[in-house]
Structure 1
């Protein structure tokens, strides 16, 4: 079947891209890669992985195989998603979460013990310490995954981190290819990172830039007022500023 051949060929190409990404991550020569470069490669791996999964699912449907298990996905999984060295979370958490859930967490044929074993093998530094004292057992897996989500699945923190990176992009007063490329690549990755957590509007940008112009006490009060909101709106922000003005007038 021509469609099956095309899917198989396309999937092989995607597998080669994933293999190259994993090889890059395992190469000691890249241990000093910049945060922006690591983030860019991880997001590219996330996009490629999703396509790889989609091709595999379509092939399975065409093959009409019950209980289809993709051995190639399992082989790539054993690459440990860069062996954890590149996974420091922060703004990389959404990409890691998507890859991990599609390869491990949502797999019905894996026990919680197996899932926890894979999860622990991917964690380093603070994230590893967060679940270090939990035994690898069925009963502990959900607790571990919940702890990680509570710690790192913070859309607002991720937004602020990405916007901080944007503000730190280099500036230049002359035509310079190197700087221009850094700005272009950096801005593109930041926008893709915001898209990944569905922050596609203007609100987060305006709130962040406005807060940068305000005093420390007002910024602190805004954080306290909106701490329970993952994605505060401009309307909420301007209401806060109006209330703050009235408060200062009466002081």
Structure 2
């Protein structure tokens, strides 16, 4: 009985191993990084997983690094020739420049608070953009360990000022208790319902 169980386990392991090795995942392409602080985290995390942590030579890593950056980022390490000795220097130069929490947070806040208003064009796409930009910005701030749980009154106030009169009026009508401060969650849910409703009747 023990022998049969052992053989059965070996067969199952062999089948599982064969299946896993035959399953081919789609190729992941690295996005080009040009020096945009908001794109740094995505690029650096992907590069670390796909290239930096792999068992290949540092010369190869530096070649991949140089071929996937452009603009300001490319100029920053342009003087470094491809060699094993230069890879760590190049990677550290990029990290030192773009792994800057203060600048990253500032860039996210700028994108969040400087969104276009809906005064003249309260289109489906404009409402959707406000919803997505706000939600993405708050997620990025959370990933940067910025506590935003008490920001609701300020954020809602800023974003309401960007709505056209009709959209603002519609939001006010959704509030069950207009004397209480609405939350950013309520505001985002309203925007989502708004653009979905408009899409349904277009």
Range class of TM-score, shorter chain? 0.5 to 0.7
Query: In the superposition, relative to structure 1, how do residues 160 and 70 fare at CA in structure 2: closer, same or farther (>3 Å)?
Result: farther
Q: After superposition, what is the alpha-carbon deviation per residue over 1:214-235, rounded to whole angstroms, capped at 9, x for unaligned? A: xxxxxxxxxxxxxxxxxxxxxx
Measure how far apart 1:167 and its partner are.
1.1
Measure how far apart 1:202 and its partner are.
5.0
Structure 1, unpaired ranges of 5+: 1-61, 210-251
Query: In the superposition, relative to structure 1, how do residues 186 and 106 fare at CA in structure 2: closer, same or farther (>3 Å)?
Result: same
Matches within 5 A, 1:147-162: 147-162=93-108
User: What is the match of residue 115 of structure 1?
Assistant: 61
What CA distance in whole angstroms lies between the structure 2 residues aligned with 1:70 and 1:100? Answer: 25
The reply on whether 1:172 has 2:126 as its aligned counterpart is no
Q: TM-score, normalised by structure 2?
A: 0.58
Measure how far apart 1:91 and its partner are.
1.3
User: What is the match of residue 198 of structure 2?
Assistant: none
Q: After superposition, what is the alpha-carbon deviation per residue over 1:51-76, rounded to whole angstroms, capped at 9, x for unaligned? A: xxxxxxxxxxx529xxx999967x73
What CA distance in whole angstroms lies between the structure 1 residues aligned with 2:21 and 2:140? Answer: 31
Measure how far apart 1:171 and its partner are.
2.4
The reply on whether 1:191 has 2:138 as its aligned counterpart is yes
Structure 2, unpaired ranges of 5+: 1-15, 156-202
Measure how far apart 1:156 and its partner are.
1.2
User: What is the match of residue 136 of structure 1?
Assistant: 82
> RMSD over aligned Cα, in angstroms?
3.3
User: What is the match of residue 225 of structure 1?
Assistant: none
Picking from 27, 52, 70, the partner of 1:105 is 52
What CA distance in whole angstroms lies between the structure 2 residues aligned with 1:116 and 1:197? Answer: 27
2:93 partner SS:
helix
Is this contact kept in 2: 1:166–1:187, CA < 8 A? yes
Query: In the superposition, relative to structure 1, how do residues 126 and 69 fare at CA in structure 2: closer, same or farther (>3 Å)?
Result: farther
Whose Rg is larger? 2
Is this contact kept in 1: 2:66–2:74, CA < 8 A? yes
How many pairs align? 138
Q: TM-score, normalised by structure 1?
A: 0.47
The reply on whether 1:145 has 2:91 as its aligned counterpart is yes
Extract structure 1 runs of 4+ deviating beyond 6 A.
68-71
